Structure 1
Amino acid sequence: MKRVVTGVLVTAVAALGTAAPARAAAHALAAQNDPVKALKSQFAPGKGVKFTDLTTMIEDGKGEPYLKRSGSFQFGRAGIVASDISSDRAVPLEDPTANPNGVFGPARTIRVGAISYARGGSYSDKMPSGKSWYKDKSGMTGDVSGWFSQLVNVAEPQTLATLLKGAKKSGRGYSGTTTFGRLAKVSPWFRATLPLRSSDKTVVTFKLTLGRHDLPQRLTTSFSAGGIFDTPYWESRTISVETRYTGWGSRVSIKAPPASKVTTKLEDHDGI
């Protein structure tokens, strides 16, 4: 009888010892079967993800490389707490003097919380002496180049959930449409990137591919440029952006620039 009781106790202790790992494995499996849960599982202080963007401008069925970006998101416990994005023209100008104000030239934007710091690009010729960063309390995510880059941020759980709802699934890919208006409701990133736009009815077509652990790997979006600018010139053009994500869970540390290099006032050298 003692041997029977002892055997039961040993079995019970063994079960207790394996219960926690089993539950953890079950939670991990559940997250892998749900892209939104998988994304939320990445949120931890000091962790993040890297990405690259390539924007193509399409007119009359012909596409030309327009802008390229590289950057990273830093996460906290609830989501994105900072971003660091560098941008440039996809194809260098043959004559740099044709773009004297530096619009779409090399630029960098650091965003910490809801405050952004920009250098280069459209700010390149407006900095006071000794300053190199412009502090923007409106918190735009990427200067003017952000308007023509990836407006859809699938590192935001609500944005990802909005895309997946009603999307067509094929293997590890999803495809569908959304609108500027829907994105504006759920995405802080979209609102900060494109605070002004001509139409919230603008349709955004997307294709999303998931990689390991059901985390975003590749996102392609396209929309009419007329959704940003209500002019005949832009209405005839389509903006297409491909974003690739790498290094989920890698260490990311993004900090504001040194205060001594930051200004809140820009100089007007052109009398505009």
Structure 2
Amino acid sequence: MQRVIAGIAAATVIMSVTASPAHAVPAAHVVAADPVTALKRQFVAGIGVRFTDVSTLIEFVGNTSFLKRTGSFQFGPAGMVASDVTATLNDEAIPRIPISLVGMLRSKDRTIRIGTTSYYSGGPWAAPKGKTWLKHPHGMSAGWGGWCSQLVNVAEAATLKALITRGKRTGRTYAGAISFGALEKVSPWLRNATMVKMSADTKAAVLRFRLTVGADQLPQRLVTDYPASTHGGVAAGEEGRRISVETNYTGWGNRVNIKAPPASEVAVIKRARLG
């Protein structure tokens, strides 16, 4: 009798072990161990994320929010493949903002970028009559507003890794600093944020960041700030000015389909990178 009971018990254990994989949690619902792994799991064709951000000039006399943006990133198996960004300038803030910061901005502009090709609507370059968009084969990441807004793109795995590596973790928040030069090395987004090459002084400038991720380890909120001097000359007494940008991310894993504008609405511009 004891042998029968032992045999039944052994069979029960074997059935339990072999049956357990059928009850495993699907991979899509498994929380990643770290933000970079979580981000790479988003790299699926037609999947993306949306964001909003606000740029603010910080100075001794107070803070002035001067630029708001909304946009989305679309992924492919290897990472980000397209972006669509609309920037709106706060016209009331113009008298309080240095000309070096807003000189090339307009009230509203939109940039669609697919691969390395950018399509601009609005902004400083007016499209010819009958056209709405200007196409640049190697254009800026997010138009002229891109250089005055969020320069850190956590939708890039290498960029996110750089922040996580340098940041001190408290709960689900990573806080730290990185130089523009170090960020430029890993981030195509930053390398293409402007038509002008970075100066040695700009590369040496330090950008501070505070990144908060969700329970799923994906970025939720990113706040960066850096010296306003990176965007041009600073007048005497204004050396302490800084630019702060707060970006919030929503809709990770949702469908995103970014398309080029209709060819009939596009004019091609040929302009070499400045600097």
TM-score range, shorter chain: 0.7 to 0.9
Q: In 1, distance between residues paired with 2:116 and 2:8?
A: 61
Letter in 2 for 1:211: G
Q: In 1, distance between residues paired with 2:212 and 2:23?
A: 30
Percent identity for Structure 1 against Structure 2:
45
Sort the Cα spacing of 1:61 and 1:218 in 2 relative to 1 into closer, same or farther, 3 A: farther
Cα RMSD after superposing both structures? 2.9
Matches within 5 A, 1:1-272: 11-12=13-14, 14-19=16-21, 21-22=23-24, 24=26, 28-29=30-31, 31=32, 33-92=33-92, 103-123=105-125, 126-195=126-195, 196-198=197-199, 199-232=202-235, 235-265=239-269
3-state SS of paired residue (2:150): coil
Residue by residue, what CA displacement relative to the aligned partner does 1:20-40 show, whole Å, maximum 9, x if unpaired?
A: 6537569924x1x31111111
Q: In 1, distance between residues paired with 2:118 and 2:239?
A: 30
Sort the Cα spacing of 1:109 and 1:21 in 2 relative to 1 into closer, same or farther, 3 A: farther
Q: Is the 8 A contact 1:197 1:228 kept in 2?
A: no
Q: Is the 8 A contact 1:56 1:63 kept in 2?
A: yes
Residue by residue, what CA displacement relative to the aligned partner does 1:123-166 show, whole Å, maximum 9, x if unpaired?
A: 2xx21111110111223112111110000011111111111113
Q: Is the 8 A contact 2:90 2:107 kept in 1?
A: no
Q: Compute the displacement of 1:84 (Å).
A: 0.3
Q: In 2, distance between residues paired with 1:38 and 1:207?
A: 18
3-state SS of paired residue (2:36): helix
**TM-score, normalisation: structure 2:** 0.83
Q: Compute the displacement of 1:245 (Å).
A: 0.3
Letter in 2 for 1:75: F
3-state SS of paired residue (1:247): strand
Instruction: In structure 2, list runs of 5 or more residues that go unmatched.
Output: 271-275
Sort the Cα spacing of 1:13 and 1:259 in 2 relative to 1 into closer, same or farther, 3 A: farther
3-state SS of paired residue (1:212): coil
Q: In 2, distance between residues paired with 1:131 and 1:71?
A: 23
Q: In 1, distance between residues paired with 2:242 and 2:163?
A: 20
- What number of residue pairs does the alignment pair up? 258
Sort the Cα spacing of 1:91 and 1:26 in 2 relative to 1 into closer, same or farther, 3 A: closer
Q: In 2, distance between residues paired with 1:240 and 1:159?
A: 18
